[in-house]
């Protein structure tokens, strides 16, 4: 059962997405807040991204472009940065929406290439979009558009765990190590404080406490981790990123600083009834 839980936590902590696709999952709306009125809609299934760009042509008429087969072309990246995804960009046309549908009136024309790449160090927060349409090159930096928070789903009791997958060289402790535990999550939106607590509460206890931020479909928590016998230790700065929350559990990438050592991995939990 313990090994099974480790496996569940590891799978859950991948961000609930296919490893061959963009990670974290870019599904959602993306825009430039300084340029209202246009944007990009993205949907990912497995290793394939479908992107729709809604812009305006040189006559200021609404124009849509679609890229239905955007996949990884550079994994691992040659420059050591984020993976690059690319696909053919198309312009589509069809019959008037208020009349009868005539499939013979549907037209699809390739107009260029679309490339998507997360900004290094800002995965899930900043997306570099490069495309060409009819010979016109365009480069934009977009961010996820946020309509609401899913933090209300987070409070509850979980069976979860932590997986450490990387650390600063020469720092103590093994990597690929796992720990399973029961966890309680509470949230105070008015004070913008989220708390995760686990341990026996007698001789050892751990608490993550921080502020919650929503960006698109994913959240993050920035705060501190205190862990030890009755938590006497000085809290360590911790960041939970790529936080995916659903009715059955949550998963997040994790990085914390203990002295001069940085440890990273994942934390996740399966909701208990």
Summarised one tens digit per residue, pLDDT across range 14-66 is 444 445 789 889 999 999 999 989 999 999 999 999 999 999 999 999 999 99
3-class state of residue 194 by DSSP: strand
Q: Which two tokens stand for residue 17?
A: 């997405």
Domain ranges of the chain: 28-144, 149-271
Q: For the whole model, what pTM was predicted?
A: 0.82
CB 103 within 8 A of CB 93: no
- Dist CA 41 CA 29 (whole Å): 5
pLDDT bracket for residue 81 (50, 70, 90): confident
Section 93-109 average pLDDT: 91
Distance, in Å, from the CA atom of 72 to the CA atom of 126, rounded to the nearest integer, reads 18
First to last CA, the chain: 18
pLDDT tens column, 221-265: 999 999 876 555 689 999 999 999 999 999 999 999 998 999 999
**Nearest 5 degrees, angle CA 197-CA 199-CA 205?**
75
CATH class of 149-271: mainly beta
User: What mean pLDDT do residues 191-195 have?
Assistant: 94
């Amino acid at each position: 059962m313990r090994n099974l839980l480790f496996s569940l936590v590891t799978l859950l902590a991948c961000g609930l997405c296919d490893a061959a696709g963009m990670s974290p999952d870019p599904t959602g709306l993306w825009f430039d807040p300084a340029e209202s009125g246009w944007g990009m809609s993205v949907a990912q299934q497995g290793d394939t991204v479908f992107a729709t760009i809604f812009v305006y042509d040189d006559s200021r008429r609404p124009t849509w472009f679609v890229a239905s087969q955007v996949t990884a072309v550079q994994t691992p990246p040659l420059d050591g940065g984020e993976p690059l995804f690319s696909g053919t960009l198309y312009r589509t046309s069809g019959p008037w929406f208020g009349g009868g549908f005539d499939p013979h009136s549907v037209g699809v024309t390739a107009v260029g290439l679309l490339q998507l790449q997360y900004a290094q160090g800002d995965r899930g927060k900043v997306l570099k979009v490069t495309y060409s349409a009819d010979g016109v090159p365009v480069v934009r930096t977009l961010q996820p558009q946020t309509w609401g928070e899913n933090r209300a789903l987070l409070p509850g009791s979980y069976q979860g765990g932590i997986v450490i997958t990387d650390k600063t060289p020469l720092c103590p402790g093994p990597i690929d190590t796992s720990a399973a535990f029961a966890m309680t999550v509470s949230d105070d939106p008015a004070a913008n404080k989220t708390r995760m607590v686990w341990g026996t509460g007698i001789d050892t206890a751990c608490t993550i406490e921080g502020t919650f931020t929503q960006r698109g479909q994913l959240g993050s928590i920035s705060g501190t981790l205190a862990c030890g016998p009755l938590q006497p230790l000085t809290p360590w700065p911790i960041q939970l990123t790529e936080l995916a929350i659903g009715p059955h559990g949550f998963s997040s990438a994790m990085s914390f600083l203990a002295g001069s050592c940085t440890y990273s991995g994942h934390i996740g939990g399966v909701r208990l009834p």
